[in-house]
């Protein structure tokens, strides 16, 4: 009966809808709306989006701290370690926002992070919470300009309600996740940190070569802000070492701050924190053991699972299998125990071991920037450093590396064949 309402009642209906959407504890499932209801919501959004966003903010307004905070938004265990290092070093009040889904953060670990006191607030939000968004975009792609603010703006306004977006630093490791929609609209100080140690050059080249990441493609266009660090809302990009050859829109924002050097200055405090977080799960490394860091190259079709196992078996051929400890990449699912190797906890970032008194003989990897951060090994070996190669080189390199050597015929066998020919 919307059409039969007079102007006053329509205004009241719009106000009620704003309040309803803004105060929902989760997103609104637009795919369950009727066409009439969706049209009404679209009309609402087109009518006054700024008014809608003001009401959302008023619903989630909290008392602001006088001193600006650093807010770290993480989705891997490496990001967590970097955030702890930087928060301890900066001495600034800091909050941690954990995006649960890409990596698994157990509740026990989250509680321990809170116990460290490094962060004044720890918030966990879930990948599953935006699955409905994907479904709605699939079902009604023509409603994208309605769906994005309804789902994303409301959802993340609730998540980041403690942040003073005009004064706080929002430190992100990627702008390819849905929270970017909200931050891009309102955050005044956005800082991008490299995704892995010394990885930004490779990360950026990957974007340029292969385009946009997976599901984010459906957001792009006028309804979604620019991604891959092209947005002028990103103030700076923190990397561990200087990078040459980047386009100006990126290079002008580069800020060189070596995370591992910063960590060295905070060694004692980091040891205390990391032992609290991981002390009950740290593997028993011995002086004569060898550490193997893996990469799940089979997931990206650079090789098969069987081929990758052959690579690692050949790399460790000079050591007794019982002396090899494998630190799997968090996404790696291969069973390395069938090679006779020991396996360390995959969700403990290798950088943690630098600060807890561990010492080993050698660290090996086929291709992982993590090996560059290791200071607890006598020798670090990376047989395929991506700084020196291209992604297109990986597959042929692997095939050549595991190719069986040509058999050399012995002098004795050649002499026997020659004698046989003479006799014949």
Q: pLDDT tens digits for 214-255?
A: 445 444 445 677 777 888 899 999 999 999 888 888 899 999
The answer to whether 121 touches 162, Cβ cutoff 8 Å, is: yes
Using CA of residue 54, residue 60, residue 61, residue 66, what is the dihedral sign? Answer: negative
31 pLDDT exceeds 60? no
Confidence of residue 136 (pLDDT cuts 50, 70, 90): low
Q: Determine the pLDDT at residue 25.
A: 47
pLDDT band per the 50, 70, 90 thresholds, residue 58: low
| Nearest residue to 295 (alpha-carbon basis) of 213, 374, 212, 364 | 364
pLDDT in tens, 367-382: 888 888 899 999 999 9
Question: Cα(91)–Cα(233) distance, rounded to whole angstroms?
Answer: 25
What is the arithmetic mean of pLDDT over 27-41? 61
As a whole number of angstroms, the distance between CA 146 and CA 139 comes to 13
Q: How far is CA 90 from CA 85, 94, 250, in A?
A: 9, 9, 24
Contact 11, 18 (CB under 8 A): no
pLDDT exceeds 60 at position 210 = no
- Residue 420 dihedral angles phi and psi, to the nearest 5°: -65, -40
Give the chain's mean pLDDT.
Answer: 82
pLDDT digits (tens, 9 = 90+) for 336-372: 999 999 999 998 999 999 998 889 989 999 988 888 8
């Amino acid at each position: 009966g919307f059409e039969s309402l007079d102007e006053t009642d329509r205004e009241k209906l719009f106000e009620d809808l704003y309040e309803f959407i803004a105060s929902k504890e989760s997103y609104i499932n637009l795919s369950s709306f009727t066409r009439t209801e969706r049209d009404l919501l679209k009309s609402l959004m087109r009518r006054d989006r700024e008014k809608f966003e003001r009401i959302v903010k008023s619903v989630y307004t909290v008392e602001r701290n006088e001193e600006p905070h650093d807010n770290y938004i993480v989705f891997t265990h490496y990001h967590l370690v970097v955030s702890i290092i930087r928060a301890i070093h900066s001495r600034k009040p800091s909050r941690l926002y954990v995006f649960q889904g890409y990596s698994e953060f157990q509740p026990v670990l989250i509680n321990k992070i809170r116990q460290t006191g490094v962060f004044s607030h720890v918030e966990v939000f879930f990948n599953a919470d935006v699955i409905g968004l994907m479904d709605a975009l699939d079902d009604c792609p023509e409603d994208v300009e309605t769906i994005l603010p309804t789902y994303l703006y409301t959802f993340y306004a609730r998540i980041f309600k403690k942040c003073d977006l005009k004064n706080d630093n929002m430190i992100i490791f990627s702008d390819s996740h849905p929270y970017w929609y909200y931050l891009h609209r309102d955050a005044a100080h956005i800082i991008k940190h490299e995704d892995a140690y010394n990885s930004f050059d490779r990360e950026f080249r990957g974007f340029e070569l292969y385009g946009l990441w997976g599901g984010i493609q459906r957001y792009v266009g006028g309804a979604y802000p620019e991604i891959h660090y092209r947005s002028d809302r990103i103030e700076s990009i923190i990397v561990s070492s200087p990078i040459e050859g980047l386009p100006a829109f990126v290079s002008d924002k580069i800020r060189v701050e070596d995370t591992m050097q910063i960590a060295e200055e905070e060694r004692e405090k980091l040891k205390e924190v990391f032992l609290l977080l991981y002390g009950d799960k740290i593997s028993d490394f011995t002086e004569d053991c060898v550490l193997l860091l893996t990469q799940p190259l089979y997931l990206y079709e650079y090789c098969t699972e069987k081929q990758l196992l052959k690579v690692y078996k050949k790399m460790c051929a000079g050591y007794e299998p019982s002396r090899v400890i494998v630190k799997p990449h968090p996404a790696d699912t291969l069973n390395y125990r069938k090679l006779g190797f020991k396996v360390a906890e995959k969700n403990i970032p290798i950088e943690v071991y630098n600060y807890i008194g561990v010492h080993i003989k050698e660290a090996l990897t086929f291709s992982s920037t993590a090996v560059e951060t290791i200071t607890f090994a006598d020798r670090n070996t990376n047989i395929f450093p991506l700084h020196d190669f291209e992604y297109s080189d990986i597959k042929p390199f692997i095939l050549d590396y595991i190719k069986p050597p040509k058999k050399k015929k012995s002098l004795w066998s050649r002499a026997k064949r020659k004698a046989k020919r003479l006799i014949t």
